Amino acid sequence: MDINNLQRENIKNLKPYSTARDEYKGQASVFLDANENGYGSPLDVNFNRYPDPLQLDLKDAISKIKGVPIENTFLGNGSDEAIDLLFRAFCEPGKDNVIILPPTYGMYEVSAGINNVEARKVNLLPNFQLDLEKIAEAIDENTKLIFICSPNNPTGNSIIRTDIETVLANFNGLVIIDEAYINYAKQRTFIQELTEYPNLVILQTFSKAWGLAALRLGMAFAARPVIDILNKVKPPYNINQATQDLALKALENIAQVNEWIKITVTERENLSEELLNLPIVKKVHASDANFILIEVIDALKTYEALVNQGIIVRDRSKVTLCEGCLRITIGTPQENEIFLAALKALNS
């Protein structure tokens, strides 16, 4: 597949913005090229200079953990930015389409709407796996992207690996595997498959296991031509200096993150078991993520009763295939205990 032919014609012809720092070679100590304030910042740290547009130090540190070369890594203002840029780079508004697989993460459809791109919906099967036949039927010559979320939000399950491989091998556009929750999964990441599939894009994020949702930092891993196109269309300084500095610091503390992942997985299994014993809980869906989807007798009533006690879960009862369901984030052991006690009280 020729990625260059997949991109929009206007993007192919686009001359990207050239930053002040792109335009000189060699050492320099006097920077009078970017209209910055040379005095410094009214803070303890200096933020007066524009940040590295390609975030090379941060990517180098990420590369050491993920094993993905820098040239195969894109960083965005959250994975939501990468999702939006994929639409802007590859989908011609009013002409091209993408395939999404409900119930799934809502931003794929919102981004499609913002970019005036048709989002073709192929529902997951009742077991929340891919309907390969219907996906094949939905693809036409204008289908540019297929979004597969694994582990899937809001269902929590991982998508069967061989099914994803079938889509990757047979689709002539980009397959985006959103691995936002991969750190909590038994299934391994698709990162090792990057060299095999030129049409594979993997999304990961610092917002979940890394505990940095407020920083807004997402990763996209893909073949070099895809990354080059994303870099061409992104805003020049999309990752601010504070985010780059703090993420670099966080990456030194992977032991803490791994500890939280371990506790969260244990808590997920314990909470799932406890919930099964409650009469108002009809079903607890198996989860590979840091949340669980449960079906209860009366979702809205349960949701409101919890809100009244200051406990907020996500009501997913109006979502395709999730009728009667609430999505519960796995909290700290103390938070989970409070939630469980409140739910038990509703039962009695």
- Give me the residues that bind ligand PLP (CB under 6 A), please: 78-80, 105, 149, 153, 178, 180, 205, 207, 213, 218
Q: Decide whether 261 or 340 has the Cβ nearer to ligand PLP.
A: 261
Q: Which helix (H) or strand (E) holds 304?
A: helix 299-308
Query: Do the Cβ atoms of 280 and 347 come closer than 8 Å?
Result: yes
Residue with CB nearest ligand PLP?
78
Tokens found for residue 184: 């909590």
Q: Decide whether 292 or 343 has the Cβ nearer to ligand PLP.
A: 292
With 0-12 / 13-18 / 19 or more C-beta atoms within 10 angstroms meaning exposed / middle / buried, residue 305 is middle
Q: Decide whether 281 or 322 has the Cβ nearer to ligand PLP.
A: 322
Q: At what angle do helices 79-90 and 224-233 cross, to 10 degrees?
A: 90
Q: Decide whether 180 or 250 has the Cβ nearer to ligand PLP.
A: 180
Minimal distance, residue 94 CB to ligand PLP, in Å: 26
Minimal distance, residue 224 CB to ligand PLP, in Å: 22
Q: Decide whether 15 or 186 has the Cβ nearer to ligand PLP.
A: 186
Minimal distance, residue 175 CB to ligand PLP, in Å: 15
Say if residue 151 is preceded by a cis peptide, omega within 30 of 0: yes
Query: Do the Cβ atoms of 158 and 151 come closer than 8 Å?
Result: yes
Distances (CA, A) of 333 to 268, 271, 336, 337: 10, 10, 5, 6
Minimal distance, residue 216 CB to ligand PLP, in Å: 7
Q: If DSSP codes are grouped into helix, strand and coil, which group holds residue 329?
A: strand
Minimal distance, residue 204 CB to ligand PLP, in Å: 8
Q: Decide whether 51 or 151 has the Cβ nearer to ligand PLP.
A: 151
Question: Using the 8-state DSSP alphabet, how is residue 252 labeled?
Answer: G
Q: Decide whether 223 or 289 has the Cβ nearer to ligand PLP.
A: 289
Minimal distance, residue 96 CB to ligand PLP, in Å: 22
Minimal distance, residue 206 CB to ligand PLP, in Å: 7
Minimal distance, residue 30 CB to ligand PLP, in Å: 38
CA distance 278 to 138: 41
Minimal distance, residue 218 CB to ligand PLP, in Å: 4
Identity of residue 57 = D
Q: Decide whether 98 or 343 has the Cβ nearer to ligand PLP.
A: 98
Identity of residue 14 = L
Q: Decide whether 89 or 159 has the Cβ nearer to ligand PLP.
A: 159
With 0-12 / 13-18 / 19 or more C-beta atoms within 10 angstroms meaning exposed / middle / buried, residue 174 is buried
DSSP labels for 223-247? Answer: -HHHHHHHHHHS-TT-S-HHHHHHH
CA distance 237 to 241: 9
